[in-house]
Structure 1
Amino acid sequence: METDTTRQTGKIEKAPALASHFNPLNLLPLLRYVRSTRLEDEARANENKHVRAALEEEKRIGMRIAVWARTIGLIVVAIFLPFVNPRLEVIYYELLLLAFVLLGFAQLRMARVGQSRAELGLIFADFILLTFVLLAPSPFVAEDWPGALQTRFDGFSYFYIMLATGTLAYSWRTIASFGMWVAMAWLSGIAILAFFGRTMPELGGQIRTILADSPRMFELLDPNSVGLPLRFQEVIVFVIASAILALKGWRSNQLLMHQASLASERANLSRYFPPSMVDELAQKTKPVGDVRSQEIAVLFADIVGFTHFAETHEPQEVVTVLRRFHVLLENAVFSNRGTLDKFLGDGVMATFGTPAPHADDAANALQCGRDMLAAMDKWNAERREMELPEIRLSIGIHFGPAILGDIGSERRLEFATLGDTVNVAARLENTTRSLSCRLVASNNLLERIGTDRDRLCNGLESHRALPVRGRETALDVWLLR
């Protein structure tokens, strides 16, 4: 039950007790958490180009949508404003709406990922200008009235337009700050209006006389009162709304970070697998790194005489040649559904049938070898025109069982291909020197080729019982000179 004192003063006796329980230091853990998450997100963005790119793209698209949504909203306000206030003074407010449109496009121009003082300054200028528009009477109004009456037009609701459009573009931390900034701007404007605004004591006295028996009603209708409790209520509700939207923005930001991490993982896969296989791997639920044994084709390719080339040429030229060489071989591997296992300095190791086997793995491996040689022939033709020495390529290909899976420590895992098939393919590549050929493919590989066998085997020469270092039995192979 309210006492007479409560009704007259409008104060609640328990307020001091409640206020005594509030300790600003309780906010420090929250502020530390906000700062730590900001630093963590910035570190992730700096370390991961995909996270950075995702944030920049999100900010760019969000700002564009927000500015146009804001502009359309202001146009709607500009259209209905003359119907609400059909007086000449409405031109003043129409010009101010144009200023808000220009501020919006200025924010679009200054938009940056991370902290931008210019952008934050423009946002705060928005709030200051809106506070001025809502609380300062139009200079074109001829009729005098108390300044406090400016608060009776429910103009505070326009801040929600800025909050709504802000959620489309700004970080959750900025949205959380909206509440504090609006509270500062609005309550400062209310304080200025209360202390320095125009008052009409005579009018207030007349209304007080009429409502002498209803003091609570006079508090609501007093033309000289800014209605401070209602103004605090507006600010508190706005702060709560901005906090809730900031929480939603935080969740969306975490989802964006997760999606960017997935994009980074896909980019890492694309370094080793062709794009079509990356999409296939992304849809699998079984881990790629599970240890298993399966039949695959293994290809080794190497530059013949690279040691001498490196000794007799400048380091920059050596690196330039290697980069072009790696690009040519990488394209051949990926265009034939191969996996680029690793670069071996002046060579590469590629597998076909990893991480998932296909019926045409053997055919793809042999076609890849032919494509590599064709690419090298074209490159050497260019080098001859520039009077540069040719780059000779040797290739060895074998088909058989291999062990696949992650190896290494917890700090650094690597998807590896191991076993006798890998060793034999490397030995076959090495025998190209003694056999004076460019490509050696095992008979095991050719036996696995189904369709298009005649075309793929065209020009190959049979070589029986080739001794392979490290193996007790000889191997039947095919040569391409």
Structure 2
Amino acid sequence: MTEHAATAQPRALILARALTFRAGLRVARLRHWLAGRLPPRARGRLAENVRAAELAGLAFAFRARAVAIVVVSLWLLVLVPWPRDLYYLSVAGLFFLLGYVPYRLRHHRRAGAIKLAFTVLDIALMTAAIIVPPPAGLGVDWPIQTRLRTPEFLYVLLLLGEAALTYWPVAVLWTGTWIAAIWSLGVWLVYGREDTTRFADAARDGRLSADASLKVFLDPTYVGLTPLWTQVIVTGLFTLLLAIAVWRGRGTMLAQVRSEVVRADLARYVSPDVADALAARAHAGFGAPQTRVVAVLFADVVGFTGMSEGLGPERAFALLRGFRERSCKVVFRHAGTLDKFLGDGFMATFGGLDGRGDGAARAMACAVDLQREVDAWNAKREARGAAPVRVAVGVHCGPVVIGNIGADQRVEFTVIGDVVNVASRLEAATRELGGRIVASECCLSAAGPEVAGRFTRTLPLTLRGRTQPIVVHVAE
């Protein structure tokens, strides 16, 4: 063994171990997905996305609150005479402030507890504004008991609507519970006043007649508990229904966020179209074998072994990573599936999942676009004194079997068929033909005129292992 080969072997071994380690990480990550579990990094992003959705819900709830305050304030200006409307407008301003403080503190680590505490203040303020008369000189001189006969209790229920916009079922249950408690306390305090008229007091000496009952009911100081029980029961039912609706909505939101996180994380290890299909049909037999007409593209860095001999493992790794990053960008730009990386090359397919019928045309456009990308990359490399990179491409299309293949411990979504072998050998034939792209006749016929114009030579070619030649086209 020569000294040159001996030094090259450890470098290649180090690079191979690095790639094997990355592949092992990929397998471990895919096992998590196939088992229905999220890897730790994905779980962290899931929590971040859920938190972002909750913050967006809090912000939206505050904006809805502000709109409701404006609408109610305008209605009060129409309904309430001057200057009593100033009193209620000041209450509306204070109510806005009680919502603004937790909104500003929504990024605080105890933002949830702050919001729940201010919800209690909201309910207390609104209950007091409804039950307690305005200061002397601003209100009409009616008994305080008459304030329980108006429908203003409905305004309190608006707080349940605000809580429902936060994606937080606990907030709905908390709000409904405190509405029932604080409103009941307010009504009970009025009911217990000495000047309050009650059916129990009026009927102390016997059963009331219908006329006597009506007289008690129409008394301005009368307060009954039946409306309170009705309000409490309706509030409880409304709270329960809203909490269930928010809980289901939160489940849908979590499913969507989880799907996006899985799809984004999975797309880092498989092609985006495969990630979409796998995320959408993970439990519906994804990858069942089927026959389709697919275009297959092979690309390879020419002379990478020789180039890596003069580079250290880190620089060889950087070169390979730069090639793969640019290759992924081009393949995905043309909606292709990156089937696998093959050392210093890769295999991509077109038309295997989308069924659009234009796989051959997209594969040809991808091949030309890849060479443009390599030319731009070489311009940067030459500017800093690095050697240019030459990439060979072979393209062929035809029927293949596409689907999952492998064992329980390792599953790969790929294509199988003679088309794959031909495309691989067309890529290898670029060396002897002196071209950058070699494409079969069926692929070139599907390409557009701009792409087809780049192919300058046409010739029959007998591939290794085949007896019949095929017509190929070569682009320099």
Query: Is the shorter-chain TM-score for this pair beyond 0.5, marking a shared fold?
Result: yes
- Is 1:473 aligned with 2:471? no
Amino acid at match of 1:180: T
For the residue of structure 2 that corresponds to 1:387, the secondary structure is coil
Do the aligned residues in 1 keep the contact of 2:365 with 2:447 (CA within 8 Å)?
A: no
- TM-superposed CA distance for 1:223, in Å, is 7.5
Q: Which residue of 1 aligns with 2:228?
A: 231
User: 2:455, 2:474 within 8 Å by CA — same for their partners in 1?
Assistant: no
1:241 corresponds, among 238, 242, 262, to 238
Q: What displacement does 1:416 show?
A: 1.5
Distance in 2 (alpha carbons) for counterparts of 1:252 and 1:49: 20
Amino acid at match of 1:272: S
Q: Which of 88, 93, 98 is residue 98 of structure 1 equivalent to?
A: 93
Q: Percent identity?
A: 30
Q: In the aligned structure 2, how far is the partner of 1:200 from the partner of 1:455?
A: 98
| Aligned ranges 1:8-407 → 2 under 5 Å | 47=43, 53=49, 56-57=52-53, 60=56, 62-63=57-58, 65-81=60-76, 85-86=80-81, 88-111=83-106, 116-140=112-136, 150-190=147-187, 199-200=194-195, 214=208, 227-260=224-257, 272=271, 289-307=287-305, 313=311, 318=316, 320-355=318-353, 360-407=358-405
Distance 1:65 1:405 in 2: 44
> How many Å separate the matches in 2 of 1:89 and 1:360?
73
Is the 1:297–1:352 contact (alpha carbons within 8 Å) kept by the matching residues of 2? Answer: yes
Q: For residue 360 of structure 2, give the secondary structure of its aligned residue in structure 1.
A: helix
SS of structure 1 residue aligned to 2:456: coil
- Name stretches of at least 5 consecutive residues in structure 2 with no aligned partner: 1-35
The Cα of 1:98 is off from its aligned counterpart by: 0.9
Distance 1:135 1:312 in 2: 87
CA contact (8 A) 1:134 1:155 kept: yes
Structure 1 residue 465, shift from structure 2 partner: 2.7
CA distance in 2: counterparts of 1:386 and 1:325, whole angstroms: 17
Separation in structure 2 between the aligned mates of residue 337 and residue 406 of structure 1, nearest angstrom: 20
Distance of 1:354 and 1:79 partners within structure 2: 60
- Deviation per CA, 1:345-391, whole angstroms, max 9, x where unpaired? 53221112313556653343333222212211111111111222322
Instruction: Pick which of 436-445 and 338-347 moved more.
Output: 436-445
Deviation for aligned residue 1:101: 2.0
Q: Partners in 2 of 1:263 and 1:164 — Cα distance?
A: 28
CA contact (8 A) 2:296 2:420 kept: yes
Alignment match, 2:436: 438
Contact map agreement 2:297 2:363 (CA 8 A) in 1: yes
* Total equivalences in the alignment: 428
Which amino acid counterpart does residue 407 of structure 1 have in structure 2? Answer: I
Distance 2:170 2:325 in 1: 44
Q: Relative to structure 1, is the Cα distance of residues 453 and 116 closer, same or farther in structure 2, using a 3 angstrom cutoff? A: closer
Task: Give the drift of 1:238.
Answer: 0.5
Secondary structure in structure 2 of the residue aligned to 1:289: coil
CA contact (8 A) 1:45 1:51 kept: no
Whole-Å separation in 1 of the counterparts to 2:306 and 2:77: 86
CA contact (8 A) 1:211 1:217 kept: no
- SS of equivalent residue, structure 1 residue 349: strand
Seen in structure 2, the aligned counterparts of structure 1 residues 454 and 369 have a Cα distance that, compared at 3 Å, is closer
Unaligned ranges ≥5, structure 1: 1-39
